[in-house]
A and B are shown apart, each in its own frame.
Chain A
Amino acid sequence: METLIGVFEQQLGLEGVWALSAAYSVCIGSLLGFITVYAMFAIWMERKVAAHMQVRMGPMETGAWHGWAQSIADAVKLLFKEDIIPSQSNKVMFWIAPAVVFCGVFAGFIVIPFALGLQIADLNLGIFFLISIASIEVIGVIMAGWASNSKYSLFGAIREAAQVVSYEIPTATALLVPILVVGSFRLDDFNLWQEANGWLIFHSPWMMLAGLVFFISSLAGCKRAPFDLPEAESELVSGFHTEYSGMRFSFFFLEEYASMFVASAVMATLWFGGWTIPFVDMSTWTDPDSFGLSDVAVTSIGIVVLLAKTFFFIFVQMWLRWTLPRLRVDQVMTLGYKYLVPWGFVALVMTAIFKYYGWGWFPN
């Protein structure tokens, strides 16, 4: 971001506010573009993964090769579909709820370090920002559920509220564990630390436990199976977005896949080294002595590495979704409070002890 502002100020001669807004526009535009393209790809991927797990083909006929254009067709169709606003609904809330939901996830993207220095906002409190901004989505969902004036929507919204709020505790606890080891809230610091020392997941068994706790609670945060209660199709028809049609509904769709990306990217960054390759110092690749790559090339490699790791976790999320049955609402709570929260704290305390005594597989 700062770099971009600098570029606009120096190269194009823009001043102050103008440079800032120009930089903002570029960032938002590129991010929106990225999210849209990513979500389309992820939806197509989900359908293909699901299909092949279920011994069928998935999209085949839309677009020439294995239905690659399927999501584009979906988007075109949703764009030109009638937008129904139920007459009994609270219209203002009904209108803005999808936007609120999307904003929450969208804001999460700005702190993710895609590669060395490629980060829209390099916040010192990046993780803290992520945790807090993710809660905005819940407000949108409750707005959607309440404004729809449908009982099924209301059920979905209340379930979502209970679930996401509960699972923020284990999420935060698990996130504290790598923070404890690295000693920073800044996301890029994790990448640099792991570039030097190896992946955090192999730091100690407790770190693995924390990773598992985070993964499970991030599933709940993303409303992915087996925690898809807010939109449980076989119980609540479609949950909080039962009354939404057309483009507004597609925002909820987009949000789900975007939040999957954020959760997986955080998982990849904090435990699996983000854009780095372990024990390889990518900053040296620009030297003419080693590879002599340009900055852009190194950045691209970083992006590819991060995306590969992220998509692995997205794949695992899909894999789980097409394997597991759904939990019941009280079981979700039980899992959260009786299993994940205690074990998150165990991981935290044990990691603290390990760090104090310098134990672990690669103590630092």
Chain B
Amino acid sequence: MGILNNTLPSNIATDAVDGVIGWGRKSSIWPMTFGIACCAIEMMAVYAATFDLDRFGAGVPRATPRQSDLIIVPGTVNAKMAVRVRRLYDQMAEPRYVIAMGACVCGGGPYVKWGYNTVKGVHKIIPVDIFVPGCPPRPEALMDGILKLRDKVGQDEVFRRRSDTAKDLERRYGMIK
């Protein structure tokens, strides 16, 4: 696929193909089994029967980063863990998405002031698609984040050229594909 990525103009055919791919991607976001702290328990609650993330096709937690599309970072990332989070992200296959779950990961949370070794927001380490603040966010709030991510993923440009806004974002955050 590689060479055709984002090279074709937007027309009916590419729109349709991209639409189908986007539908596939958004309907089957497999998260990684990855828990750090308190928020991981609420993340488990999202997989569990009461909320059941599997309804959106996202209930196949994969243990290995290679097969997962989404890394939910649930809990404080500190200096020791940040290296690992970064490596996990690097090991994931494109397209990959990141949800920052919880206040700690969104911007330091309760550890923002006196935390000598916490990373104040995982967006300092890896590019984040959706932030879900809360301490910990309710399972519904995380699902809300995942739904927002689905909307975002559904409009991915695969063969079409990137829109100007996407390019602008890329330039701003230096997300080199």
Q: Does A6 contact B (CB under 8 A)?
A: no
* Number of A-B residue pairs with CB-CB distance less than 8 Å in the complex they form: 104
Contacts of B91 in A (CB 8 A): 84
Q: A residues engaging B (CB < 8 A)?
A: 47, 51, 54-62, 67, 69-70, 72-84, 233, 237-238, 241-246, 249
5 other contacts beyond A56-B54, A67-B57, A73-B28, with CB at 8 A cut-off? A62-B56, A77-B24, A81-B94, A237-B63, A249-B66
Q: Are A55 and B49 in contact (CB under 8 A)?
A: yes
Q: Which residues of B contact A (CB under 8 A)?
A: 1, 20-21, 23-25, 27-28, 33, 48-50, 52, 54-57, 59-60, 62-64, 66-67, 69, 91, 93-95, 158
- The smallest C-beta distance from A181 to any residue of chain B, in angstroms, reads 43
Q: Is the CB of B56 within 8 A of A242?
A: no
Interface of A is mostly: loop
The docked-state distance in angstroms from the alpha carbon of A81 to that of B153 is 13
Query: Which of B33, B54, B56, B66 is within 8 Å of A244, CB to CB?
Result: B66
Minimum Cβ distance to chain A for residue B94 (Å): 4
Provide the residues of chain A in CB contact with B94, threshold 8 Å: 81-82
A58 touches B54 (CB 8 A): yes
Smallest CB–CB gap between A117 and chain B, Å? 39
Name the one of B1, B27, B64 contacting A242, with C-beta atoms under 8 angstroms.
Answer: B64
The interface residues of chain B lying within 8 Å CB-to-CB of A242 are 64, 66
Residue of B21, B28, B95 near A70 (CB, 8 A) is B28
A59, B20: Cβ atoms under 8 Å?
Answer: no
Are A61 and B52 closer than 8 Å at their CB atoms? no
Q: How far is the CA of A327 from the CA of B24 in the complex (A)?
A: 35
Beta-carbon contact of A245 and B93 below 8 Å: yes
Q: Are B93 and A246 closer than 8 Å at their CB atoms?
A: yes
User: A70-B27, A77-B69, A238-B62 given as contacts; is B93 within 8 A of A59 (CB)?
Assistant: no
Nearest CB in chain A to that of B62: its residue:
A238
Contact of A238 with B67 at beta-carbon distance under 8 Å, contacts A59-B55, A76-B20, A82-B93 already known: yes
Q: Which 5 A-B residue pairings sit nearest by Cβ, starting from the closest?
A: A76-B24, A73-B27, A82-B93, A60-B55, A245-B66
Of all chain A residues, the one with the shortest Cβ separation from B23 is A73
Does A56 contact B49, Cβ atoms closer than 8 Å? yes
**Can you list 30 A-B pairs with a CB-CB distance of less than 8 A?**
A47-B59, A51-B52, A51-B59, A55-B49, A58-B59, A60-B55, A60-B56, A61-B56, A62-B27, A67-B55, A67-B57, A70-B27, A70-B28, A73-B23, A73-B28, A76-B20, A76-B21, A76-B23, A76-B25, A76-B28, A77-B21, A81-B94, A81-B95, A238-B62, A238-B63, A238-B64, A242-B64, A242-B66, A244-B66, A245-B66
| B21 & A245 in contact (Cβ 8 Å cutoff) | no
Residues on the B chain within 8 Å of A51, using CB: 52, 54, 59
> Which residues does chain A contribute within 8 Å of B67, judged by CB atoms?
238, 241, 244-245, 249
In Å, the complex CA distance between A91 and B11 comes to 38
Q: How far is the CA of A238 from the CA of B158 in the complex (A)?
A: 29
How many whole Å from A132's CB to the nearest CB in chain B? 31
In the assembled complex, the Cα of A168 lies from the Cα of B19 at a distance in Å of: 47
Contact B27 A69 (CB under 8 A): yes
Across the interface, name the chain A residue whose C-beta is closest to B1. Answer: A80
Q: Hey, which chain A residues are within 8 Å of B95, CB to CB?
A: 81-82
Does A77 lie within 8 Å of B28, measured CB to CB? Answer: yes
A241–B95 alpha-carbon span in the complex (Å) = 19
* B25 / chain A contacts, CB cutoff of 8 Å: 76-77, 80
A237-B64, A238-B67, A242-B64 known; A57 vs B55 contact (CB < 8 Å): yes
